[in-house]
Amino acid sequence: MTAASGNLPGAEPGALHEQQLSSASSRTASAVNAPLCSRSRRQRSYANRAGASPVSLAFPSSGGWDRPATATVPLHLNAGPNTIEIDSSTPVYSPDLDAIQVPRWPGRHGEIEQGASTAPWWTDPASLGAMPSSDGAYDELLAAVQARVNRYANSGDAEDVLDPAGVRDAEVLLGSERAATNEVRHAVGLLFYARHAVLAAVDGEEDMDRAQPLLEPIMDQIPDLVEQIGVLGRRPSQPVRLNPKTAPAIAYGSRPLGEIDTVIAVTRHAILAADDQTDIVPLRMNQAEAHQLRFTRTGEVADLDDAIAIVRSVVADAATSNRLTTLGTFLQLRFAAAGDTGDAEDSIAVMREALDTAAEDDEDRPMYLSNLGRAHLTRYVYVSQDPADLDRALSLIRWAVAATPEGELGRDTRLHALSQAYRMSFARSNDPADLEAALRAIHETVEATIPEHPDRAERILDLGVTHLARHQQSGNRQDAAVVKDAAKQVMRAVPKDHPLYAAARDMLDLLRRRG
């Protein structure tokens, strides 16, 4: 994110994959018993019943036109026909809905394959998929490990417990302050015991050595623990029961880790169950997206490695501009997280290929221009300091903005990138014309950003940063007033422990020192 020092944000998939929204601000649909399905970008929609409060749901980018995303919302529906109204709460845009899907109650009418129970096995159902409490990271990891063992006990899919991501989660729990609690010993001990049972014929002794000291001290304190161990021990000899039909939807990266893991597992089942007529590429791309969302929750670069490996395998056989853009975005994210300059270089090559692959009349071409420009800007700031990178970034992003009509979705994001590029150009050249261009772009960005936009606070901060640069050059009091107002807006909009709050406070301190 942009701070007063002028640093640029890392790649953000939501900012790079802009999706079309319809021109209507609300829609109605007749359906029965439904979660809500949409592929639209970071809009907020509501659904309610007569006399009930609206239900709010945020939609992010899906990552490309050929990649629908799904989001789930609980609704109180009557038996038989129901009318669902979707309202974006803005006068212009509403989600571009492909379908509203209503699952049957699990286990009835053949909706789930025979024997493929999704019921929790040994944990409290309320703990699975719950949003983090005040001990958010701990609770979320614990629920994710519990859900992983539950899925394995129900389906017998060994990948659930053999996945290195589960071991990473378990090790974080064992390194926490609550490592000695019964709930951690129970969940992590069963995970390692399940791994031992799967790998016993090969080499499961290391997992047994980890499970035993966790489970033995609580053997008399956890009801049915002996029986649970027996279930896991017998599971490898039983048939795997795939559940490819009922997939929970993941809407955005702030969803609980256990839900993201479930999406990965169910998508894996769908791929395993696919026949020769099924196109599994969309499933693979959704799987990659889920691994990337996992990274947003854990910060583990290994989760991003998994996402990148999947997308690389897909584009090697079926490259499209949108899939290449997704790969380039993931590479930029990994560069921001790990600092490997090779990822910065690769992201430019991939974004360039995405642009070259797109037709001249491709409606997403402005997005591809902007993405490549942002990749060059990232390399300029963090790697090369080569003026050619900055010039190339400015040229590409200017083209992208020029090709995007006023009011069209994505223009605000491209204008924001343009303001950053001009500010970097001013820092290099000290040319007032660059600073004025940056100011024009950031003002237009903020004006085009709806109040509910998740990046609005960051953009207002950038407005203040850019005016601070001019104030430091000229001492203009009007610039100082804008800086103060921007900082106050940001500090009101975000919690005190948010990085933008600290950046706004630092910006005010710089202004005060300037006098």
Confidence class of residue 297 from pLDDT cuts 50, 70 and 90?
A: confident
154 and 64 share one domain: no
Which residues are within 8 A (CB) of 388 and not within 5 positions of it... i.e. 6 or more apart?
A: none
Residue 217 and residue 178 share a domain: yes
Lowest mean pLDDT across 44-58, 133-147, 151-165:
44-58
Long-range contacts of the stretch 52-59 (C-beta < 8 A, 24+):
52/76, 54/87, 57/251, 58/251, 58/252, 58/454, 59/95, 59/251, 59/252
Cα gap 226→218, rounded to integer Å: 10
pLDDT in tens, 233-260: 999 999 999 877 655 555 555 678 888 8
pLDDT for 52:
45
137 and 285 inside one domain:
yes
Residue 347 lies in a domain: no
Examine the domain organization and report whether 77 and 145 are in the same domain.
no
Q: d(Cα 169, Cα 188) in Å, to the nearest integer? A: 9
Domain boundary among 88, 103, 118: 103
Looking at the fold, whether 274 and 146 belong to one and the same domain comes out as yes
For 456, the token pair is 């609005």
Task: Kindly report the three-state secondary structure assignment for every residue of 299-337.
Answer: CCHHHHHHHHHHHHHHHHHCCCHHHHHHHHHHHHHHHHH
Query: Are 132 and 281 part of one and the same domain?
Result: yes
pLDDT of residue 229: 94
Total structural domains within the chain = 3
On whether residue 318 sits in a domain, the answer given is no
* Residue 345 maps to a domain: no
144 lies in the same domain as 231: yes
Q: Tell me whether residue 53 is in a domain.
A: yes
Higher per-residue pLDDT: 28 or 13:
28
How many C-beta atoms surround the C-beta of residue 407 within 10 A?
9
Please choose, from the candidates 232, 73, 89, the residue with its C-alpha nearest in 3D space to the C-alpha of residue 152.
232
Residue 74, amino acid: P
pLDDT digits (tens, 9 = 90+) for 343-361: 999 999 999 999 999 999 9
